């Protein structure tokens, strides 16, 4: 197995440089999709692509590609991708790490005279975070044919802008049709954004699937009555009913012995007064599971509990679907390549499920895909505290290097 | 027993007239303590006192008294009282009913040539609601010596005003020292503000005690992590812990077979995002019980549960006391007078506990006191939907008439 390595200093320097682009007056990293500050990040990335001698292509939705045609110009390319837009007050690793490691892998192979059997491409997909324009993962969704590009360009932003206008304004309304290259395989390297690798003392995650997501908003209606004068037996307490749901979801997930996770992240009571029984409780439910049947089971169990609770507590309950994504199964051959690379380098690795959404789940619609995770300290992301050690960053990039080499020499998949 | 009656039409007309004074541009009834609109209500009340031939006295904290000296000018008076300030968007009965029924009782007795053994006084206490100036029940608290009048007059309002300045401005900074008359007995007639009388089909409540109140704010600190990537076993979920407390309080109160009530009326999660595990949950706890030992037991049980939960869920929990009032026991002789009056008039009556705070609890510090309740439709108060039927209003006022006659002819208490 190859003991070649990417250039650690160059990769770390680029991560750090890109992480300083788009700081606001308070020093917060904010590169929202198609904004002025994101343009600066894009310009830097394109400059690095050109410095590495790659062909730069931009498509109608603003996805940026750095293409190394190498020897096998007619073949379908190996694509490495992620995104460089950020949330508000972001960390420096989420997305950027995968894009810059992709560039690093190509530049390393190119510089050492490696001869791939097919082109290798690094991609930075537009608007993965979805903060300014919904939905998230938009660039990869459009690229894989899941959303019409004309409709996507008409997306109205939270600031009243149209995505298409903003892309044109910053000079990234490209000329290529989304999907103009169908990948032979797609690999995405990303920080875990969860605590599993760190807590288990592992360096690498071979991501074999991605959870399905079910988001709902539940509204419970009871009676606002005086907290002092209304006997417990006469209450229709929407807040208490909400508490029962929260406890039900968590206790069920905890005792299920499955990867199911359930979270109630938002809540509001009305009238929200210390001495008034809540007449209304509104809260969100985030259910995730890598298995579609099990996700459906969890949704059904919640619905059944809500019905029971409504009768028991004499409260009105309605649930509204906010979002629903089926689980994604990644390509097992690529997952095995990742495991093999980690084994060859003596890095502790486990198969795992991605709990967050990624561009890879969109590209998986059109090409064999998988992801590599590296540890996130304390599982924190979308936050300036987001952190991965240099050692882990370099190790992850070298695993990516090995996997791309394997794919580029025709090892897998066929 | 007397079959005398108050003048129903006059009482109902006055309730309705006072209920139209202090409407804002949207038609909401808003007579906050010592405001311009409350001045109009006070002026109307004083005009009725003068029309009835009563001596008007105002004390330093703005409490208004209508005094009928009658025959026994040297004796300690029987005092009937409540308040005419309101919350924002109030109903027309809370407080005003008791004050106007007090005036009605005195006017009825005076007009028919009744000869009381001691003075009879109707009182409208300042700032019972506590919306503009805290604490609530301020006028009766000051009157009973529980709060220094100079300190009370310096109270800073939510609108930046000082109560003393505002009382002077509206012409109700009176000349009498609070407490200038020590009542022989005090009776307060009030709407129940709860559902018990209505649901049990009763006309009258003989209020024998008033719940102790314990208000706390509980703060739970966990970790904000990604809802998708953090396994259930690794979570420190402040929102789940809060739900456990809400369920604990309610289930304990429900199964206790005591009058204990527990309410969580306010809640907030941080960061309050659909896909983030709450790092912090803040909520209020309102515990009430007419028995001080039991109230202490409930507080201790909550504290013990919070300690257990903190260890179980690895969350930080702190509780801050917001308010604490011991239960008040009313005078049993007056309570028996109320029951007897109801029996003589063939009105269904029960002894009950007041779940809300009232001026009577303050005056109980200096004189034998009790309260009479009439039904509140659906238990609603502090709301334009507040409603009591004319029949119940008239019946309650006639019970008050009988009780005052009893007290004024020396029946009780001694």
User: What are B261-283's pLDDT values in tens digits?
Assistant: 999 999 999 989 888 899 999 99
Q: If you average pLDDT over residues A267-288, what whole number do you get?
A: 94
Question: A87: distance to nearest CA of chain B, Å?
Answer: 14
Residue in A194, A213, A227 closest to B286 by CB: A227
> Which residues from chain A sit within 8 angstroms of residue B273, using beta carbons?
265-266
B134, B200, B263, B383: best to mutate for the A interface, most A CBs within 10 A: B263
In this prediction, residues A142-164 reach a mean pLDDT of 96
Does residue A329 carry a pLDDT above 60?
yes
CATH number of domain containing B245: 3.30.70.360
Please write the tens of the pLDDT for every residue from B297-318: 999 999 999 999 999 999 999 9
Give the length of chain A.
414
The confidence band for B1, taking pLDDT boundaries of 50, 70 and 90, is: very low
Express each pLDDT in A175-190 by its tens digit. Answer: 999 999 999 999 999 9
- Phi, psi angle pair for B377, to nearest 5°: -60, 125
Which tops the pLDDT comparison, A259 or A297? A297
- Asked if A84 and A219 sit in the same domain, the reply is no
Residue B2 maps to a domain = no
Computed over every residue of chain B, the mean pLDDT equals: 95
A71 pLDDT band, cuts 50/70/90, is low
pLDDT band at A225 (very low <50, low <70, confident <90, very high): confident
Tens digit of pLDDT for each residue in A231-259?
Answer: 999 999 999 999 999 999 999 999 988 88
Q: pLDDT value at position A1?
A: 45
Q: Minimal Cα distance from B238: which residue of A?
A: A265
Nearest CA distance, B34 vs chain A (angstrom): 24
Q: What is the mean pLDDT of chain A?
A: 95
Cα(A223)–Cα(B128) distance, integer angstroms: 25
- Indicate if B181 and B226 belong to the same structural domain: no
Would you tell me how many other CB atoms lie within 10 Å of the CB of residue A30?
A: 17
Name the residue among A178, A168, A119, A118 with its Cα closest to residue A147. A178
Is residue A83 annotated as involved in ligand binding? yes
Which residues are CB-neighbours of A93 under 8 A, at least 6 positions away? Answer: A15, A191, A376, A381, A386, A387, A388, A393
**Closest by Cβ to A273, choosing from B228, B244, B265:** B265
Residues paired with A267 in a beta bridge: A283
Please indicate whether, in this complex, the C-beta atoms of A288 and B247 are within 8 angstroms of each other. Answer: no
Distance from the Cα of A252 to chain B's closest Cα (Å) equals: 10
Q: What is the DSSP letter of A62?
A: -
Cis before A413 (ω within 30): yes
Q: Is residue B392 part of a domain?
A: yes
| DSSP conformation letters of B236-275 | --HHHHHHHHHHHHHHHHHHS-SS-EEE---EEEES--TT
B147 and B42 share one domain: yes
Domain boundary among B325, B348, B368: B325
Check B276 against A259: CB less than 8 A apart.
Answer: no
- Based on the domain organization, do B222 and B156 belong to the same domain? no
| Interchain pair B227, A266: CB under 8 A | no
- For residue range B207-263, list pLDDT tens digits in order: 999 999 999 999 999 998 889 989 999 999 999 999 999 999 999 999 988 899 999
What residues in A contact B380, CB-CB < 8 Å? Answer: 225
- Note whether B230 contacts A288, CB cutoff 8 Å: no
Please give the Cα distance from A186 to A207 (Å, whole number). Answer: 13
Distance separating alpha carbons of residues B151 and B145, to the nearest angstrom: 12
Q: Which of B228, B250, B356 sits opposite A240 (nearest CB)?
A: B250
Residue B3 lies in a domain: no
pLDDT over 60 (residue A412): no
Q: How far apart are CA A352 and CA A259, in angstroms?
A: 10
Q: Per-residue pLDDT tens for B324-368?
A: 989 999 999 999 999 999 999 999 999 999 999 999 999 999 999
> Which residue from B minimizes the CA distance to A357?
B228
Token reading at B61? 């904290």
Q: What is the DSSP letter of B379?
A: G
Which two three-digit tokens encode residue B148?
A: 């220094």
Domain boundary at B310, B325, B340, which? B325
Q: Does residue B305 sit within a domain?
A: yes
Residue B129 counted as an annotated binding residue: yes
pLDDT band at residue A226, thresholds of 50, 70 and 90? confident
Domain termination site, one of A325, A342, A366: A325
Mutate to test the interface with B, among A197, A216, A229, A290 (most CBs of B within 10 A): A229
Check residues B2 and A407 and name the one with the higher pLDDT.
A407
Query: Does A80 lie in the same domain as A163?
Result: yes
CB nearest to B227's CB, from A246, A276, A286: A286
**What pLDDT score was predicted for residue B74?**
82
Query: Residue B229 is nearest to which of A194, A262, A272, comparing CB atoms?
Result: A194
* Residue A1 counted as domain residue: no
Quick one: closest CA in B to A386, which residue? Answer: B225
Cβ atoms of A406 and A412 within 8 Å: the answer is yes
> What is the radius of gyration, based on Cα positions, of chain B?
23
- Secondary structure (3-state) at A38: helix
Residues B217 and B201 in one domain: no
Residue of chain A whose alpha carbon sits nearest to that of B245:
A243
Based on the domain organization, do B232 and B107 belong to the same domain?
Answer: no
B190 is in an annotated binding site: yes
- Looking at the structure, tell me whether residues A26 and A150 fall in a common domain: yes
Among partner residues A229, A265, A278, which is closest to B194 by beta-carbon distance? A229
Q: Which positions in chain A touch B195 (Cβ < 8 Å)?
A: 225, 229-231, 234
pLDDT digits (tens, 9 = 90+) for A32-52: 999 999 999 999 999 999 999
> What's the gap in Å between the CA of A180 and the closest CA on chain B?
32
The CATH number linked to B16 is: 3.40.630.10
Percent of chain A's residues with pLDDT above 70:
98
* pLDDT exceeds 60 at position A413: no
Is A414 part of a structural domain of the chain?
A: no
Strands (E), A83-238: 120-124, 185-191, 204-210, 212-221
> If you average pLDDT over residues A215-227, what whole number do you get?
93
Give helix A96-111 / helix A390-408 axis angle, nearest 10°: 60
Q: With contacts defined as CB-CB under 8 Å, which chain A residues touch B254?
A: 232-233
> Are A355 and B226 an interchain contact pair (Cβ–Cβ within 8 Å)?
yes
| Both structure tokens of A325 | 């994504």
Q: Is position A413 within any domain?
A: no
* Interchain pair B379, A233: CB under 8 A: no
Using CB atoms, pick whichever of A193, A195, A226 lies closest to residue B356: A226
The answer to whether the CB atoms of B227 and A288 lie below 8 A apart is: yes
Interface touch A231/B261, C-beta < 8 Å: yes
Does B323 have pLDDT greater than 90?
A: no
Most A CBs within 10 Å: which of B213, B243, B295, as the mutation test of the A interface? B243
Residues A290 and A159 in one domain: no
Residue B411 has pLDDT above 70, yes or no: no
Nearest residue of B to residue A215, measured between CA atoms: B274
Q: Which of A196, A228, A277 sits opposite B211 (nearest CB)?
A: A228
pLDDT value for B71? 63
Residue A156: which domain range? 8-210+327-408
Whole-number Å distance between alpha carbons of B271 and B224:
8
pLDDT at B414: 45
Residue B70 has pLDDT above 90, yes or no: no
Residue B287 has pLDDT above 60, yes or no: yes
Is A50 annotated as ligand-binding? no
Name which of A272-276, B120-124, B188-192 the model is least confident about.
Answer: A272-276
Cα distance between residue B192 and residue B111, in whole Å? 30
* Residues whose CB falls within 8 Å of the CB of residue A261, separated by 6 or more in sequence, listed in order: A211, A253, A286, A287, A288, A289, A355, B227, B228, B230, B231, B232
Does residue B127 sit in the same domain as residue B176? yes
Instruction: Give the per-residue pLDDT at B72.
Output: 66
**Measured distance CA(B85)–CA(A288) in Å, rounded:** 53
Mutate to test the interface with A, among B193, B252, B260, B265 (most CBs of A within 10 A): B265
If you measure CA to CA, which chain B residue comes closest to A218? B274
Domain count, chain A: 2
Q: Which tens digits make up the pLDDT trace of B368-395?
A: 999 999 999 999 888 899 999 999 999 9
- Give the mean model confidence (pLDDT) for residues A285-293: 96
One DSSP character per residue, A220-286 reads: EE----BTTTS-GGG---HHHHHHHHHHHHHHHHHHS-SS-EEE---EEEES--TTB--SEEEEEEE
Q: Do B195 and A278 touch (CB under 8 A)?
A: no
Let me know the angle formed at the C-alpha of B264 by B274 and B193, rounded to the nearest 5 degrees. Answer: 130
Please indicate, yes or no, whether residues A12 and A34 belong to a single structural domain of this protein.
yes
Nearest to B372 by CA among B346, B393, B345: B393
Q: Do the annotations mark residue B382 as ligand-binding?
A: yes
Average pLDDT rounded to a whole number, residues A128-134: 92
Q: Which sign does the torsion angle of CA A132, A135, A140, A145 carry?
A: negative
Residues A40 and A88 in one domain: yes
Residue in B with minimal Cα distance to A354: B229
Number of A to B CB contacts under 8 A, please give it: 204
Euclidean distance between CA atoms B80 and B369, whole angstroms: 10
Q: Which residue of A has its CA nearest to B357?
A: A228
pLDDT, greater one: B414 or B214 = B214
Closest B-chain CA to A249: B240
B177 occurs within a structural domain:
yes
């Amino acid at each position: 197995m190859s003991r070649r390595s990417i250039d650690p200093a160059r990769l770390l320097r680029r991560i750090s440089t890109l992480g300083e682009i788009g700081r606001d007056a308070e020093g917060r990293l904010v590169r929202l999709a198609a904004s002025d500050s994101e343009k600066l990040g894009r310009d830097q990335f394109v400059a690095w692509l050109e410095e590495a001698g790659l062909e730069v292509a931009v498509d109608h939705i603003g996805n940026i590609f750095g293409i190394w045609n190498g020897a096998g110009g007619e073949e379908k390319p190996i694509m490495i991708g992620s995104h460089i837009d950020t949330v508000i007050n972001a960390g420096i690793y989420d997305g950027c790490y995968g894009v810059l490691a992709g560039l690093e892998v190509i530049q390393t192979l190119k510089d050492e005279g490696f001869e791939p059997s097919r082109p290798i491409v690094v991609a930075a997909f537009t608007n993965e975070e979805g903060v300014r324009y919904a939905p998230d993962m938009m660039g990869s969704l459009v690229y894989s044919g899941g959303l019409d590009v004309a409709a996507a360009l008409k997306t109205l932003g939270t600031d009243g802008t149209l995505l298409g206008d903003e892309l044109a304004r910053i000079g990234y309304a490209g000329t290529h049709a989304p999907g103009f290259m169908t990948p032979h395989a797609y690999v995405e390297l990303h920080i875990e954004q969860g605590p599993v690798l760190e807590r288990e003392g592992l360096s690498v995650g071979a991501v074999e699937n991605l959870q399905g997501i079910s988001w709902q908003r539940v509204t419970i209606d009871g009676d606002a009555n005086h907290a002092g004068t209304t006997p417990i037996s006469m209450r229709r307490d929407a807040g208490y009913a909400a508490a029962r749901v929260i406890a039900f979801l968590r206790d069920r997930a905890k005792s299920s012995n499955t990867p199911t996770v359930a979270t109630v992240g938002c809540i509001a009571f009305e009238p929200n007064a210390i001495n008034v029984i809540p007449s209304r409780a509104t809260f969100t439910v985030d259910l995730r599971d890598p298995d579609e049947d099990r996700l459906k089971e969890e949704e059904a169990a919640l619905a059944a509990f809500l019905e029971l609770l409504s009768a028991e507590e004499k409260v009105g309950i309605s649930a509204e679907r906010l979002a629903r994504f089926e689980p994604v199964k990644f390509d097992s051959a690529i997952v095995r390549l990742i495991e093999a690379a980690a084994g060859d380098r003596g890095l502790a690795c486990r198969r795992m499920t991605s709990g967050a959404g990624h561009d890879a789940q969109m590209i998986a619609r059109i090409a064999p895909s998988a992801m590599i995770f590296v540890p996130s300290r304390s599982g924190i992301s979308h936050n300036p505290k987001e952190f991965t050690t240099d050692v882990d960053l370099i190790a992850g990039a070298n695993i990516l290097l090995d996997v791309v080499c394997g794919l580029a020499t025709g090892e897998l998949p066929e």
